[in-house]
Structure formats: C-alpha cells, structure tokens
Amino acid sequence: MEPLQDVFGRTFVEVMSEKYSPENFPVRRGPGIGVVVVPITCPQGSPMKDRLNLPSILVLTGCGINRAGDQAEIAAFCAHVIELDLSHNKLQDWQEISKIVSNIPNLEFLNLSSNPLGGVTLEPRWAECFSRVRRLVFNNTQVSWDTLLLLTRETTELEELFLCLNEYSSVSASSMACPSLRLLHITDNSLKDWAEVRKFGSMFPSLDTLIMANNNLASIEDSKDILLKLFPKLRSINLHNSGQLRELI
C-alpha cells in the first residue's frame, strides 16, 4: 500500500517545515543562507516549528507537493524569500499555486517545471499575484498558451520566460504586449513554421535573446532587415538543430 502522502500529496507548509527545521537545516553564515525566521504568531496546532532556518532561495523539488497549506504560515515565514523552486511536484491547481505566490511578497523567481499543468484553467484573479515575478520557468508542464498570455499580461516586470519541452506547435498572438520580457527560452518544442515565430516580435517587443533550439524550424523566411523590424531589440537567436543558427549583433 502506498503511503498516504503519496496518495494525497503534501502541502507546501509541511514540506517547508520539515526541510528547513533547525534539525534538518542548521543555520549557517552567509547572505541568504540559514536565515532564522521566528514568526510573531503561529496558529495553535500548527505543524510549523517555533523557528525555521529559511534561506532566501527555497528549493523544494520532488517532494509530492500538491497544495499550499495554511496561508498565514507561508506569509509568516516567507517574507524574505526571493526565489522558489517547486519543480517535479504534483501541483495542478492554479488556485493552490496562487496561495503560495501571493504570500511571498518579494518573490522574483519561480520554477514550476515538471508539474502537471496541462489543461488546467487559470482564473484572472489568481494570476494577479504573479505581478512581481521577474523569471518564470514552465519547462515540461504542458501549460496552455492561453494561460501564458494571461500570465504575461499580469507579470508586468517579467524579464525571462522558460517554456521548454511543452510540445508547442503553434502560438496565439496577444492583443497586449509584454514589453518587459528580455529572454524567451522555448527549446525542444514542435515549432516548424516561421510564421509562428514572427508572433513573438509583437508579443515581446523588447526581446533581446530568443533560444529555440530543437524545434525543427524549416527556415527563416525574412531578411535581416525585416528581422530587425520584427525584433528591434533582438541581439541573439539560437536555432541549433533546427537547420538554422544565426547571431544578430
């Protein structure tokens, strides 16, 4: 018989409390390492310890997390956290993800790679909490393009977006651009038609680096002059293993 935590999953709060307890994560010197966090209040019966040695960069990969847990506890312990890696978990509910993100006010980096997000609906009210995030990683999530468009509208400071291994063969153009994005990493998908790539120009007008290796793109159908109009800020485009590789300097 499978352990109950494997059947039902675990909360973000449970895993964080376990990994970063003083017993498992001794405090160490150095910026962002082993920061001792003592909450002002902790709900009665809480699984949290009276203190956690939380770094500003949390790595909770492959822990079976599928829901947030008590939001008050997340807020009490995670105010200083700036990076969060939740890859290879079981998160498939955007509301639960938003409960985590909304209670980490200084979050700049979020990695949700290899969580089953395909076919999962993101409500606009849940997307608002992503507004401060600067780097998002959705590799191997099968997150829908419509969901990405909603997120890019809300993440007004987004600079880097990673979308590898999501089986995209086409993209939908957005009526609202994301002018802050500088890097788009979309390797190992199924983009073959240059017309799909052209859409990135209007969607991300400040794009500096476009990495599209392993997409089997047949050809670049525009001249360098047209490319510079489509992508006025682009300096590097990587099409390795797509039959094309061009550097714009």
**Pairwise CA distance, residues 195 & 49, whole Å:** 54
**Pairwise CA distance, residues 213 & 187, whole Å:** 5
**Pairwise CA distance, residues 114 & 119, whole Å:** 14
Q: Residue 248: its pLDDT value, please?
A: 42
- Higher pLDDT among residues 82 and 20, named by residue: 82
pLDDT-based confidence at 222, cuts 50/70/90? confident
Mean of the pLDDT values across residues 32-60? Answer: 60
Mean of the pLDDT values across residues 47-76? Answer: 87
Q: Residue 149: its pLDDT value, please?
A: 96
**Selection from 74, 138, 137 nearest residue 106 by Cα:** 74
Q: Write the pLDDT tens digit of every residue in 7-36.
A: 578 999 999 999 988 776 654 444 444 444
pTM of structure: 0.86
Joined tokens for residue 32 = 């962002």
CB-CB neighbours of 236 under 10 Å: 14
Q: Residue 174: its pLDDT value, please?
A: 87
